[in-house]
Amino acid sequence: MIQIKDFYTSPAFADAIVKCNMTHSMSTKGNYWDNAPTERLFRSFKTEWVPKLGYENIHEANTDLARYLLGYYSQIRPHSFNNYLSPAKKNDSFLIKPS
């Protein structure tokens, strides 16, 4: 049985990260705040969007995840961090408006 911590520090995982042109980053032990925004995103996805019985196949899951992230989560869903505006609406507030 492989331990989770061993998996993320394994040479195989490191090689896979390099092949995907990604950077492997791990915070210090016990520093859970580093990953808080990502954990919150996945919690929202799992509790607000994923069907109770899951998905029929990977294609259905991928399609629904894209619909959630690119549609609902970024365009519609209010975020307390943004004074209850969606990320898209908050982004619009930074655009220079013609006078």
Which residue type occupies 88?
A
Burial 9-18 (b: 16+ CB within 10 A, else e): eeeeeeeeee
- Domain positions in the chain are 4-83
What distance in Å separates the CA atoms of residue 31 and residue 27, rounded to the nearest whole number? Answer: 6
pLDDT tens for residues 74-90?
999 999 989 999 999 99
**What pLDDT is stored for residue 1 in this prediction?**
45
CA angle 8, 41, 33 (to 5 degrees): 60
Over the stretch 14-70, which tens digit does the pLDDT of each residue have? 899 999 998 887 777 767 677 778 888 889 999 999 999 999 999 999 999 999 999
pTM recorded for the entire structure: 0.58
Return the higher-pLDDT residue of 31 and 91: 91
